[in-house]
Amino acid sequence: MENLERIDHADALHQHRFKYYDFAMAAFVAILICSNLIGAAKLVQFFELKIGSWNAGMFGAGILFFPLSYVLGDVLTEVYGYARARRVVWAGFAAVLFMAFMAWVVVSMPPAPGWEGQDAYEAVFGLTPRIVFASVIAFWAGELANAFVMARMKVASGGKHLWQRTIGSTVVGQGVDSLLFYPIAFLGVWSVTQVITVLATNYLLKVLWEALLTPVTYRVVGMLKRAEGVDVYDADTDFTPFSVRS
Protein backbone atom coordinates (compact mmCIF):
# COMPACT_ATOMS: atom_id res chain seq x y z
CA MET A 1 0.00 0.00 0.00
CA GLU A 2 1.11 3.52 -0.73
CA ASN A 3 2.11 6.05 1.94
CA LEU A 4 2.71 3.42 4.62
CA GLU A 5 5.84 3.38 6.74
CA ARG A 6 7.48 -0.03 6.43
CA ILE A 7 8.73 -1.32 9.80
CA ASP A 8 11.11 -4.29 9.80
CA HIS A 9 12.77 -3.98 13.18
CA ALA A 10 11.44 -4.33 16.71
CA ASP A 11 12.99 -1.08 17.99
CA ALA A 12 11.15 1.01 15.39
CA LEU A 13 7.92 -0.89 16.11
CA HIS A 14 8.14 -0.13 19.84
CA GLN A 15 8.35 3.59 19.12
CA HIS A 16 5.17 3.64 17.03
CA ARG A 17 1.91 4.58 18.75
CA PHE A 18 -1.00 2.47 17.51
CA LYS A 19 -4.56 3.80 17.59
CA TYR A 20 -6.71 0.68 17.33
CA TYR A 21 -4.62 -2.19 18.72
CA ASP A 22 -6.45 -2.20 22.08
CA PHE A 23 -9.83 -2.40 20.35
CA ALA A 24 -8.66 -5.33 18.23
CA MET A 25 -7.44 -7.10 21.37
CA ALA A 26 -10.78 -6.55 23.12
CA ALA A 27 -12.71 -7.89 20.12
CA PHE A 28 -10.48 -10.96 19.93
CA VAL A 29 -10.92 -11.82 23.62
CA ALA A 30 -14.70 -11.27 23.47
CA ILE A 31 -15.08 -13.61 20.48
CA LEU A 32 -12.87 -16.21 22.14
CA ILE A 33 -14.80 -16.24 25.44
CA CYS A 34 -18.21 -16.39 23.75
CA SER A 35 -17.12 -19.19 21.42
CA ASN A 36 -15.73 -21.32 24.24
CA LEU A 37 -18.53 -20.66 26.71
CA ILE A 38 -21.53 -20.92 24.42
CA GLY A 39 -20.75 -23.20 21.49
CA ALA A 40 -17.87 -25.58 22.18
CA ALA A 41 -19.68 -28.70 23.42
CA LYS A 42 -22.97 -28.63 21.47
CA LEU A 43 -23.32 -30.85 18.42
CA VAL A 44 -25.73 -29.62 15.74
CA GLN A 45 -27.02 -31.07 12.49
CA PHE A 46 -29.03 -29.13 9.91
CA PHE A 47 -28.92 -31.94 7.36
CA GLU A 48 -27.66 -35.51 7.05
CA LEU A 49 -24.85 -36.15 4.60
CA LYS A 50 -23.39 -39.63 4.94
CA ILE A 51 -19.98 -40.40 3.46
CA GLY A 52 -19.40 -43.95 4.58
CA SER A 53 -19.58 -43.81 8.39
CA TRP A 54 -18.89 -40.06 8.35
CA ASN A 55 -21.89 -37.79 8.82
CA ALA A 56 -20.61 -34.61 7.21
CA GLY A 57 -23.71 -32.71 8.26
CA MET A 58 -22.85 -32.88 11.99
CA PHE A 59 -20.57 -30.26 13.53
CA GLY A 60 -19.89 -28.32 16.71
CA ALA A 61 -21.95 -25.17 17.22
CA GLY A 62 -18.85 -23.11 18.00
CA ILE A 63 -17.83 -23.37 14.35
CA LEU A 64 -20.09 -20.41 13.57
CA PHE A 65 -18.06 -17.93 15.59
CA PHE A 66 -14.75 -19.40 16.74
CA PRO A 67 -13.11 -19.05 13.28
CA LEU A 68 -13.62 -15.29 13.62
CA SER A 69 -10.84 -15.35 16.23
CA TYR A 70 -8.51 -16.75 13.56
CA VAL A 71 -9.61 -14.09 11.09
CA LEU A 72 -8.91 -11.43 13.69
CA GLY A 73 -5.65 -13.18 14.57
CA ASP A 74 -4.62 -12.89 10.91
CA VAL A 75 -5.51 -9.20 10.94
CA LEU A 76 -3.51 -8.61 14.13
CA THR A 77 -0.43 -10.38 12.78
CA GLU A 78 -0.64 -8.67 9.39
CA VAL A 79 -1.17 -5.17 10.77
CA TYR A 80 0.66 -5.21 14.12
CA GLY A 81 3.20 -8.04 13.77
CA TYR A 82 3.75 -11.38 15.47
CA ALA A 83 4.83 -10.02 18.86
CA ARG A 84 1.65 -8.01 19.36
CA ALA A 85 -0.48 -10.88 18.07
CA ARG A 86 1.28 -13.18 20.55
CA ARG A 87 0.46 -10.74 23.35
CA VAL A 88 -3.22 -10.90 22.37
CA VAL A 89 -3.12 -14.71 22.38
CA TRP A 90 -1.77 -14.67 25.94
CA ALA A 91 -4.49 -12.19 26.93
CA GLY A 92 -7.10 -14.55 25.49
CA PHE A 93 -5.48 -17.48 27.29
CA ALA A 94 -5.76 -15.68 30.62
CA ALA A 95 -9.34 -14.57 29.89
CA VAL A 96 -10.51 -18.12 29.14
CA LEU A 97 -8.91 -19.40 32.34
CA PHE A 98 -10.66 -16.68 34.36
CA MET A 99 -13.95 -17.46 32.60
CA ALA A 100 -13.60 -21.13 33.53
CA PHE A 101 -12.71 -20.31 37.14
CA MET A 102 -15.65 -17.91 37.47
CA ALA A 103 -18.03 -20.50 35.98
CA TRP A 104 -16.81 -23.12 38.45
CA VAL A 105 -17.22 -20.77 41.43
CA VAL A 106 -20.71 -19.61 40.43
CA VAL A 107 -21.97 -23.11 39.66
CA SER A 108 -20.52 -24.44 42.92
CA MET A 109 -22.22 -21.83 45.12
CA PRO A 110 -25.31 -23.21 46.92
CA PRO A 111 -28.56 -22.04 45.33
CA ALA A 112 -31.07 -20.08 47.38
CA PRO A 113 -34.10 -21.98 48.69
CA GLY A 114 -36.85 -21.99 46.09
CA TRP A 115 -34.57 -21.20 43.14
CA GLU A 116 -35.10 -23.95 40.57
CA GLY A 117 -32.53 -23.05 37.95
CA GLN A 118 -29.50 -24.90 39.33
CA ASP A 119 -29.76 -27.94 37.05
CA ALA A 120 -30.08 -25.77 33.95
CA TYR A 121 -27.25 -23.53 35.15
CA GLU A 122 -24.98 -26.53 35.67
CA ALA A 123 -25.88 -27.91 32.25
CA VAL A 124 -24.97 -24.64 30.53
CA PHE A 125 -22.07 -23.32 32.60
CA GLY A 126 -20.76 -26.44 34.35
CA LEU A 127 -17.52 -26.62 32.40
CA THR A 128 -15.46 -29.71 33.04
CA PRO A 129 -11.74 -29.26 33.79
CA ARG A 130 -10.96 -31.55 30.86
CA ILE A 131 -12.76 -29.36 28.33
CA VAL A 132 -11.21 -26.20 29.76
CA PHE A 133 -7.73 -27.75 29.58
CA ALA A 134 -8.31 -28.93 26.01
CA SER A 135 -9.68 -25.54 24.99
CA VAL A 136 -6.87 -23.38 26.35
CA ILE A 137 -4.08 -25.68 25.16
CA ALA A 138 -5.55 -26.06 21.67
CA PHE A 139 -6.29 -22.34 21.38
CA TRP A 140 -2.82 -21.31 22.57
CA ALA A 141 -0.97 -23.70 20.26
CA GLY A 142 -3.25 -23.13 17.27
CA GLU A 143 -3.29 -19.34 17.41
CA LEU A 144 0.48 -19.06 17.85
CA ALA A 145 1.05 -21.50 14.98
CA ASN A 146 -1.34 -19.39 12.89
CA ALA A 147 0.50 -16.16 13.75
CA PHE A 148 3.93 -17.70 13.14
CA VAL A 149 3.01 -19.00 9.67
CA MET A 150 1.32 -15.71 8.80
CA ALA A 151 4.34 -13.63 9.82
CA ARG A 152 6.93 -15.85 8.14
CA MET A 153 4.96 -16.04 4.90
CA LYS A 154 4.67 -12.24 4.83
CA VAL A 155 8.43 -11.79 5.04
CA ALA A 156 9.05 -14.56 2.49
CA SER A 157 6.54 -13.11 -0.01
CA GLY A 158 7.54 -9.49 0.51
CA GLY A 159 4.02 -8.68 1.66
CA LYS A 160 2.32 -9.94 -1.51
CA HIS A 161 -0.64 -12.33 -1.83
CA LEU A 162 -2.39 -11.76 1.49
CA TRP A 163 -4.95 -14.45 0.65
CA GLN A 164 -2.21 -17.10 0.56
CA ARG A 165 -1.08 -16.09 4.04
CA THR A 166 -4.54 -16.00 5.57
CA ILE A 167 -5.60 -19.37 4.17
CA GLY A 168 -2.19 -21.03 4.61
CA SER A 169 -1.90 -19.94 8.24
CA THR A 170 -5.45 -21.14 8.92
CA VAL A 171 -4.75 -24.56 7.43
CA VAL A 172 -1.87 -24.95 9.90
CA GLY A 173 -3.36 -23.15 12.92
CA GLN A 174 -6.81 -24.71 12.75
CA GLY A 175 -5.20 -28.09 12.12
CA VAL A 176 -3.16 -27.80 15.31
CA ASP A 177 -6.20 -26.55 17.24
CA SER A 178 -8.54 -29.31 16.06
CA LEU A 179 -6.02 -32.14 16.49
CA LEU A 180 -5.48 -31.09 20.11
CA PHE A 181 -8.95 -30.00 21.23
CA TYR A 182 -11.32 -32.78 20.19
CA PRO A 183 -9.27 -35.81 21.29
CA ILE A 184 -8.28 -34.17 24.60
CA ALA A 185 -11.81 -32.93 25.35
CA PHE A 186 -14.05 -35.73 24.12
CA LEU A 187 -12.17 -38.98 23.48
CA GLY A 188 -13.79 -41.51 25.81
CA VAL A 189 -16.88 -39.29 26.19
CA TRP A 190 -17.90 -39.44 22.55
CA SER A 191 -17.20 -42.48 20.40
CA VAL A 192 -13.99 -42.52 18.38
CA THR A 193 -16.06 -42.21 15.21
CA GLN A 194 -17.87 -39.19 16.61
CA VAL A 195 -14.62 -37.50 17.64
CA ILE A 196 -13.05 -38.06 14.22
CA THR A 197 -16.25 -36.98 12.45
CA VAL A 198 -16.59 -33.71 14.37
CA LEU A 199 -12.84 -33.03 14.19
CA ALA A 200 -12.70 -33.50 10.43
CA THR A 201 -15.96 -31.67 9.74
CA ASN A 202 -15.12 -28.71 11.94
CA TYR A 203 -11.61 -28.43 10.52
CA LEU A 204 -12.86 -28.37 6.94
CA LEU A 205 -15.62 -25.91 7.78
CA LYS A 206 -13.20 -23.60 9.62
CA VAL A 207 -10.80 -23.50 6.67
CA LEU A 208 -13.69 -22.95 4.25
CA TRP A 209 -15.13 -20.23 6.50
CA GLU A 210 -11.74 -18.50 6.57
CA ALA A 211 -11.50 -18.66 2.77
CA LEU A 212 -15.00 -17.19 2.38
CA LEU A 213 -14.12 -14.35 4.75
CA THR A 214 -10.98 -13.43 2.79
CA PRO A 215 -12.60 -10.32 1.23
CA VAL A 216 -13.57 -9.14 4.73
CA THR A 217 -10.01 -9.76 5.94
CA TYR A 218 -8.63 -7.72 3.03
CA ARG A 219 -10.95 -4.82 3.81
CA VAL A 220 -10.23 -4.77 7.54
CA VAL A 221 -6.47 -5.11 7.00
CA GLY A 222 -6.51 -2.26 4.49
CA MET A 223 -8.52 0.02 6.76
CA LEU A 224 -6.32 -0.64 9.80
CA LYS A 225 -3.05 -0.24 7.89
CA ARG A 226 -4.17 3.10 6.53
CA ALA A 227 -5.36 4.20 9.96
CA GLU A 228 -2.13 3.14 11.67
CA GLY A 229 0.10 4.34 8.81
CA VAL A 230 2.49 1.37 8.97
CA ASP A 231 3.20 -1.98 7.34
CA VAL A 232 4.93 -4.33 9.79
CA TYR A 233 7.36 -7.10 8.76
CA ASP A 234 8.76 -9.52 11.32
CA ALA A 235 12.31 -9.47 9.97
CA ASP A 236 14.09 -9.68 13.34
CA THR A 237 11.27 -10.83 15.63
CA ASP A 238 11.89 -13.31 18.44
CA PHE A 239 9.29 -15.98 17.68
CA THR A 240 9.37 -17.69 21.06
CA PRO A 241 5.78 -18.42 22.14
CA PHE A 242 6.69 -18.00 25.83
CA SER A 243 6.68 -14.22 25.99
CA VAL A 244 4.16 -11.40 26.30
CA ARG A 245 6.51 -8.69 25.10
CA SER A 246 5.17 -6.66 22.21
6-38 confidence digits (pLDDT tens) = 888 777 778 888 999 999 999 999 988 887 777
Architecture per CATH, domain 5-111+119-232, reads as Orthogonal Bundle (1.10)
Taken in order 97, 98, 102, 103, is the CA torsion positive or negative?
negative
Q: Which residue has the higher pLDDT, 69 or 143?
A: 143
CB contact at 8 A, 61 and 39: yes
Q: What is the domain partition of the chain in residue ranges?
A: 5-111+119-232
Which residues pair with residue 7 across a beta bridge?
Answer: 232
* Model confidence pLDDT, tens digit, residues 65-81: 777 888 899 999 999 99
pLDDT class of 178 with cuts at 50, 70, 90: very high
Phi-psi region of 159 (alpha: psi -120 to 50; beta: other; left: phi over 0): left
pLDDT for 93 equals: 94
What pTM, to 2 d.p., does this model score?
0.87
Classified as helix, coil or strand, 188 is coil
pLDDT exceeds 70 at position 40: no
Which one, of 60, 232, 76, 56, lies nearest residue 154 by Cα? 232
pLDDT class of 246 with cuts at 50, 70, 90: confident
Residue type for position 34: C
Contacts of 13 (CB under 8 A, 6+ apart): 7, 81, 83, 232
